[in-house]
Amino acid sequence: MNTNHVNSWLPSANIAGCEFPLVNLPYAVFSCADQPQHIGVGIGDKIANLNALEEAGLFDQFDPSLRDAVKHSTLNPLMGLGYAHWNALRLRLTELLSNRDFQDKVEPCLVDQSEVVFNLPCEIGDYTDFYTSVHHATRVGSLFRPDNPLLPNYKWVPIGYHGRASSIRVSGEAFKRPAGQLKAPNAERPVLELCKRLDYELELGIFIGQGNPLGTSISMADAEQHVFGVSMFNDWSARDIQAWEYQPLGPFLSKNFFSSLSPWVVPMAALEPYRCDWKRDSEDPQPLDYLDSKMNRAKGAIDIKLEVWIETAKMRADNQPAERLSKSNFKDSYWTIAQMVAHHTVNGCDLKPGDLFGSGTQSGPHLDESGSLLELTTGGKNPITLSNGEQRTFVEDGDRIILKGYCGDDQLRIGLGQVENLVLSGNTP
């Protein structure tokens, strides 16, 4: 059966180009008015409240652990149950939202998306940021090391660093420009000042579902059964703080002041039709065995279209719409999600439900497919000019940056939603 053509009885879910058709069903955590926080699933312009569906007796066939998990206020318990339960829930939700026999019982459990406040989808335990775009790594490397842009480990190791989870927020939250130690190239000593080179990073957020015990590793064959779903992720970065602090142990305060996620977690099952082959050029090293599998080569990559948009304070004042700065695609990633999971655990590191991976900035082969301003403006040397004449080298106070992602086309689309944040002026230290 080609489920792409199954319609919902909810008309808004069947509109061409709708981000949340029946074949998406992304998870979110939300609250409305003075109600407690619940888990929901996006459908058309509504959210199906899973707690309400359970109380209406529509999940009675599930075992108690699943019925319990959907009533929780975060996704962590559901994430921890594993993919057999996720699939059972997805199958039932598809039935409830397509079969008209259930319409009368389900409709009271739907809430308008426009009326809810979104929260983070889960309690994020640990957060690891990868660096999987070779195009990003090469362009950024060439700014810092023109003679040696890509370090020799890049094509062997899925590079990453452990980030900080406490400052990860959901889309919509504004934040203040950070301060930090900056040192101009020719200055004798650093100063404590507001960041002058604030940047976004266009990333995919990858949520771990079921974890693994300490001392065990997850094989390529099992890797994706441990992945609950994906979101849009902006790994906000202070480039001037980063340039001074990053050696020898990597980013620290340049990254941990704020990061943000779209409210939706799109299940891996919804991405299935957009899988594509993953290739390694013949002149590049082939991955070590623990990072290789037939399945990964056949369909390890995913065609997810990614976009960056900007809305400046002047655009808002002049009632102009946001403008697109660049687009790229996750299928250009040098490493796949399965390889990130297999590599992360090969030493016995334990993952837990609700752990988050950032994919690393996703940039395409061409300069205008850059997922950061650092690349787009070549380290701030070539400002970009917006259609209203404004120029940008890095993000300015009053700018709103919007990251969007989707699979598919104008007809059938699997939306990842968007993550947007307004940058406020910082407190001068």
Q: Where do contacts with Mn ion occur on this chain (CB under 5 A)?
A: 129, 201, 235
Task: With residue 138 as reference, give the H or E element that holds it.
Answer: helix 134-144
φ, ψ for residue 118 (rounded to 5)?
A: -90, 145
Q: How far apart are CA 256 and CA 191, in angstroms?
A: 19
Shortest Cβ distance from residue 269 to Mn ion (Å)? 27
Residues labelled as active-site residues = 136
The residues, any chain, with a CB within 8 Å of residue 7's CB and separated by 6 or more, are 13, 14, 22, 98
Choose among 116, 94, 140: nearest CA to 39. Answer: 116
Choose between 129 and 240: whose C-beta lies nearer to Mn ion: 129
Choose among 188, 176, 177: nearest CA to 240. Answer: 177
Choose between 30 and 200: whose C-beta lies nearer to Mn ion: 200
Choose between 259 and 377: whose C-beta lies nearer to Mn ion: 259
Shortest Cβ distance from residue 282 to Mn ion (Å)? 29
Peptide bond before 121: cis, by omega within 30 degrees of 0? no
Measured from each CB, the residue nearest to Mn ion is 235
Choose between 359 and 377: whose C-beta lies nearer to Mn ion: 359
Q: How far apart are CA 261 and CA 259, in angstroms?
A: 7
Under DSSP, the state recorded for 349 is P
Shortest Cβ distance from residue 135 to Mn ion (Å)? 14
Listed in order, strand segments (DSSP E) in 283-333 are 301-302, 305-311, 323-329
Shortest Cβ distance from residue 333 to Mn ion (Å)? 13
Shortest Cβ distance from residue 363 to Mn ion (Å)? 11
Choose between 37 and 142: whose C-beta lies nearer to Mn ion: 142
